[in-house]
Amino acid sequence: MGARRNSDGTATLFLNHELVGTVESQPVVNGRILRGAFVSRYVLAGDGRSVLSGDLAYKSVFQDDTFVGPIATTANTTPAFTRFCSGSLSGREAGFDRPIYFASEESSTGTFSARGPQSVAIFRNNSGVGEAHALSRLGYFPWENALVSARNDSLTVIMSMEDGPATLDNQLYMYVGKKQRGGSVLSRNGLNNGALYAFRSSDLAKN
Protein backbone atom coordinates (compact mmCIF):
# COMPACT_ATOMS: atom_id res chain seq x y z
CA MET A 1 0.00 0.00 0.00
CA GLY A 2 0.87 3.64 -0.28
CA ALA A 3 -1.00 6.71 0.97
CA ARG A 4 -0.72 10.48 0.84
CA ARG A 5 -2.72 13.39 2.21
CA ASN A 6 -4.52 15.64 -0.28
CA SER A 7 -4.82 19.42 -0.14
CA ASP A 8 -8.56 19.19 0.61
CA GLY A 9 -7.97 17.18 3.78
CA THR A 10 -8.79 13.78 2.29
CA ALA A 11 -6.23 11.04 1.68
CA THR A 12 -5.48 8.88 -1.35
CA LEU A 13 -4.68 5.21 -0.78
CA PHE A 14 -3.20 2.82 -3.37
CA LEU A 15 -3.69 -0.90 -2.74
CA ASN A 16 -2.17 -3.90 -4.53
CA HIS A 17 -4.24 -6.99 -5.32
CA GLU A 18 -1.78 -9.89 -5.40
CA LEU A 19 -3.48 -12.16 -7.93
CA VAL A 20 -1.79 -14.46 -10.43
CA GLY A 21 -2.14 -13.58 -14.08
CA THR A 22 -4.79 -16.22 -14.79
CA VAL A 23 -7.20 -15.19 -12.03
CA GLU A 24 -10.35 -13.29 -13.02
CA SER A 25 -12.02 -10.74 -10.73
CA GLN A 26 -14.68 -8.04 -10.79
CA PRO A 27 -13.50 -5.31 -8.40
CA VAL A 28 -16.16 -2.81 -9.47
CA VAL A 29 -19.80 -3.88 -9.12
CA ASN A 30 -21.24 -4.53 -12.60
CA GLY A 31 -17.85 -3.57 -14.01
CA ARG A 32 -15.42 -5.34 -16.30
CA ILE A 33 -13.92 -8.73 -15.49
CA LEU A 34 -10.20 -8.16 -14.96
CA ARG A 35 -7.37 -10.62 -15.47
CA GLY A 36 -4.42 -10.84 -13.11
CA ALA A 37 -3.00 -8.46 -10.52
CA PHE A 38 -4.08 -4.83 -10.40
CA VAL A 39 -4.02 -1.75 -8.18
CA SER A 40 -6.98 0.09 -6.68
CA ARG A 41 -7.09 3.79 -5.78
CA TYR A 42 -9.28 4.97 -2.90
CA VAL A 43 -10.08 8.41 -1.53
CA LEU A 44 -10.47 8.33 2.26
CA ALA A 45 -12.01 10.80 4.67
CA GLY A 46 -9.49 12.91 6.56
CA ASP A 47 -9.78 10.79 9.70
CA GLY A 48 -9.20 7.62 7.66
CA ARG A 49 -12.36 5.99 8.97
CA SER A 50 -14.42 5.94 5.79
CA VAL A 51 -13.94 5.46 2.05
CA LEU A 52 -15.37 8.31 -0.02
CA SER A 53 -14.70 6.76 -3.44
CA GLY A 54 -12.75 3.99 -5.09
CA ASP A 55 -11.78 2.83 -8.57
CA LEU A 56 -9.01 1.19 -10.54
CA ALA A 57 -5.74 3.12 -10.31
CA TYR A 58 -5.10 2.96 -14.06
CA LYS A 59 -6.93 2.45 -17.34
CA SER A 60 -4.09 1.77 -19.78
CA VAL A 61 -0.89 -0.28 -19.73
CA PHE A 62 2.54 0.49 -21.21
CA GLN A 63 5.88 -1.25 -21.56
CA ASP A 64 8.13 1.64 -20.63
CA ASP A 65 6.72 4.42 -22.87
CA THR A 66 5.16 2.10 -25.47
CA PHE A 67 1.39 1.68 -25.27
CA VAL A 68 0.37 -1.98 -24.94
CA GLY A 69 -3.39 -1.77 -24.41
CA PRO A 70 -6.18 -1.07 -21.93
CA ILE A 71 -6.09 -2.74 -18.52
CA ALA A 72 -6.23 -6.53 -18.95
CA THR A 73 -9.80 -7.85 -19.03
CA THR A 74 -11.56 -10.93 -20.39
CA ALA A 75 -12.62 -8.79 -23.37
CA ASN A 76 -9.10 -7.97 -24.62
CA THR A 77 -5.66 -9.50 -25.16
CA THR A 78 -3.56 -7.11 -23.06
CA PRO A 79 -0.97 -9.15 -21.11
CA ALA A 80 -1.90 -9.47 -17.44
CA PHE A 81 0.33 -8.63 -14.50
CA THR A 82 0.94 -11.29 -11.88
CA ARG A 83 1.24 -11.13 -8.09
CA PHE A 84 1.92 -7.51 -7.23
CA CYS A 85 3.83 -7.73 -3.94
CA SER A 86 4.68 -4.82 -1.62
CA GLY A 87 3.97 -1.33 -2.93
CA SER A 88 5.42 2.11 -2.26
CA LEU A 89 4.37 5.67 -3.06
CA SER A 90 6.75 8.55 -3.74
CA GLY A 91 6.23 12.14 -4.83
CA ARG A 92 7.80 15.58 -4.45
CA GLU A 93 9.95 14.43 -1.54
CA ALA A 94 11.73 12.08 -3.96
CA GLY A 95 12.14 14.79 -6.59
CA PHE A 96 9.31 13.46 -8.76
CA ASP A 97 6.99 15.85 -10.57
CA ARG A 98 3.90 13.94 -9.39
CA PRO A 99 2.93 11.07 -7.06
CA ILE A 100 4.14 7.74 -8.50
CA TYR A 101 3.13 4.40 -7.01
CA PHE A 102 5.36 1.36 -7.52
CA ALA A 103 3.87 -2.13 -7.66
CA SER A 104 6.15 -5.03 -8.55
CA GLU A 105 5.59 -8.54 -9.85
CA GLU A 106 6.69 -11.19 -7.35
CA SER A 107 6.30 -14.37 -9.42
CA SER A 108 8.68 -15.58 -12.14
CA THR A 109 5.94 -17.28 -14.15
CA GLY A 110 2.96 -15.86 -16.03
CA THR A 111 4.40 -12.35 -16.01
CA PHE A 112 3.41 -9.31 -18.07
CA SER A 113 6.60 -9.68 -20.13
CA ALA A 114 8.02 -12.97 -21.35
CA ARG A 115 11.41 -11.70 -20.15
CA GLY A 116 10.32 -11.89 -16.52
CA PRO A 117 8.77 -9.93 -13.63
CA GLN A 118 9.09 -6.15 -13.52
CA SER A 119 8.37 -3.18 -11.31
CA VAL A 120 5.44 -1.05 -12.52
CA ALA A 121 5.04 2.72 -12.11
CA ILE A 122 1.45 3.90 -11.72
CA PHE A 123 0.55 7.58 -12.00
CA ARG A 124 -1.94 10.01 -13.48
CA ASN A 125 -0.99 11.60 -16.79
CA ASN A 126 -1.39 15.32 -17.48
CA SER A 127 -5.06 14.72 -18.31
CA GLY A 128 -5.67 13.06 -14.93
CA VAL A 129 -6.02 9.53 -16.34
CA GLY A 130 -4.24 6.66 -14.60
CA GLU A 131 -1.50 4.76 -16.46
CA ALA A 132 0.62 1.71 -15.55
CA HIS A 133 4.15 1.56 -17.00
CA ALA A 134 6.27 -1.60 -16.70
CA LEU A 135 9.89 -0.49 -16.18
CA SER A 136 12.44 -2.63 -18.02
CA ARG A 137 15.43 -0.55 -16.88
CA LEU A 138 14.83 -1.55 -13.27
CA GLY A 139 15.44 -5.20 -14.12
CA TYR A 140 13.65 -8.51 -14.54
CA PHE A 141 13.52 -10.53 -11.31
CA PRO A 142 10.91 -11.63 -8.72
CA TRP A 143 10.39 -8.44 -6.75
CA GLU A 144 9.71 -7.90 -3.07
CA ASN A 145 9.66 -4.11 -3.10
CA ALA A 146 10.95 -0.94 -4.78
CA LEU A 147 11.83 1.97 -2.49
CA VAL A 148 12.72 5.40 -3.86
CA SER A 149 15.42 7.43 -2.14
CA ALA A 150 14.12 10.78 -0.91
CA ARG A 151 16.29 13.33 -2.71
CA ASN A 152 15.81 16.58 -4.61
CA ASP A 153 18.56 16.49 -7.20
CA SER A 154 18.83 15.23 -10.77
CA LEU A 155 19.18 11.57 -9.80
CA THR A 156 16.52 8.93 -9.21
CA VAL A 157 17.75 6.16 -6.90
CA ILE A 158 15.60 3.09 -6.26
CA MET A 159 16.55 0.22 -3.95
CA SER A 160 15.02 -3.19 -4.58
CA MET A 161 15.42 -6.79 -3.57
CA GLU A 162 14.31 -10.19 -4.76
CA ASP A 163 11.52 -12.07 -3.05
CA GLY A 164 12.22 -14.98 -0.77
CA PRO A 165 15.05 -16.10 1.52
CA ALA A 166 14.59 -19.76 0.59
CA THR A 167 17.70 -19.73 -1.61
CA LEU A 168 21.04 -17.96 -1.29
CA ASP A 169 21.00 -16.36 -4.74
CA ASN A 170 18.66 -13.45 -3.93
CA GLN A 171 20.17 -10.07 -4.72
CA LEU A 172 19.97 -6.49 -3.47
CA TYR A 173 19.78 -4.01 -6.34
CA MET A 174 20.16 -0.27 -6.85
CA TYR A 175 18.80 1.57 -9.89
CA VAL A 176 20.23 5.00 -10.70
CA GLY A 177 18.55 7.15 -13.34
CA LYS A 178 18.76 10.81 -14.31
CA LYS A 179 15.81 13.16 -14.53
CA GLN A 180 15.42 14.99 -17.84
CA ARG A 181 13.97 18.46 -18.42
CA GLY A 182 11.49 17.30 -21.05
CA GLY A 183 9.94 14.26 -22.65
CA SER A 184 7.64 11.68 -21.13
CA VAL A 185 6.73 11.32 -17.46
CA LEU A 186 9.22 8.45 -17.21
CA SER A 187 11.96 10.59 -18.73
CA ARG A 188 11.30 13.60 -16.50
CA ASN A 189 11.42 11.38 -13.44
CA GLY A 190 14.49 9.36 -14.43
CA LEU A 191 12.72 6.03 -14.85
CA ASN A 192 13.70 5.06 -18.40
CA ASN A 193 17.39 5.86 -18.80
CA GLY A 194 19.23 4.51 -15.76
CA ALA A 195 21.62 1.71 -14.87
CA LEU A 196 21.03 -1.25 -12.56
CA TYR A 197 23.63 -2.32 -9.99
CA ALA A 198 23.81 -5.43 -7.80
CA PHE A 199 25.48 -5.39 -4.40
CA ARG A 200 28.37 -7.79 -3.81
CA SER A 201 29.01 -9.20 -0.36
CA SER A 202 32.42 -8.69 1.20
CA ASP A 203 31.82 -11.56 3.63
CA LEU A 204 29.70 -14.46 2.38
CA ALA A 205 29.62 -15.99 5.85
CA LYS A 206 27.65 -13.00 7.15
CA ASN A 207 25.59 -11.71 4.23
Give Cβ neighbours of residue 126 (< 8 Å, ≥ 6 apart). none
Q: Is residue 162 part of a domain?
A: no
Q: Is residue 84 part of a domain?
A: yes
Tell me the mean pLDDT in the region 92-120: 95
Domain extent at residue 126: 2-146
pLDDT in tens, 165-204: 666 678 899 999 999 999 999 999 999 999 999 998 888 7
Q: Is residue 200 part of a domain?
A: no
Asked if 73 contacts 60 with a C-beta cutoff of 8 angstroms, the reply is no
Task: Count the domains in the chain.
Answer: 1
More confident residue, 114 or 200: 114
Pairwise CA distance, residues 112 & 109, whole Å: 9
DSSP 8-class letter at 113: B
Q: What does the pLDDT read at residue 164?
A: 66
Q: Is residue 173 part of a domain?
A: no
Asked if 5 contacts 47 with a C-beta cutoff of 8 angstroms, the reply is no
pLDDT in tens, 39-84: 999 999 988 889 999 999 999 999 999 999 999 999 999 999 999 9
Q: Is residue 195 part of a domain?
A: no
Q: Is residue 160 part of a domain?
A: no
Q: Is residue 22 part of a domain?
A: yes
Q: What does the pLDDT read at residue 205?
A: 72
Q: Is residue 37 part of a domain?
A: yes
In terms of pTM, does the model score above 0.85?
A: yes
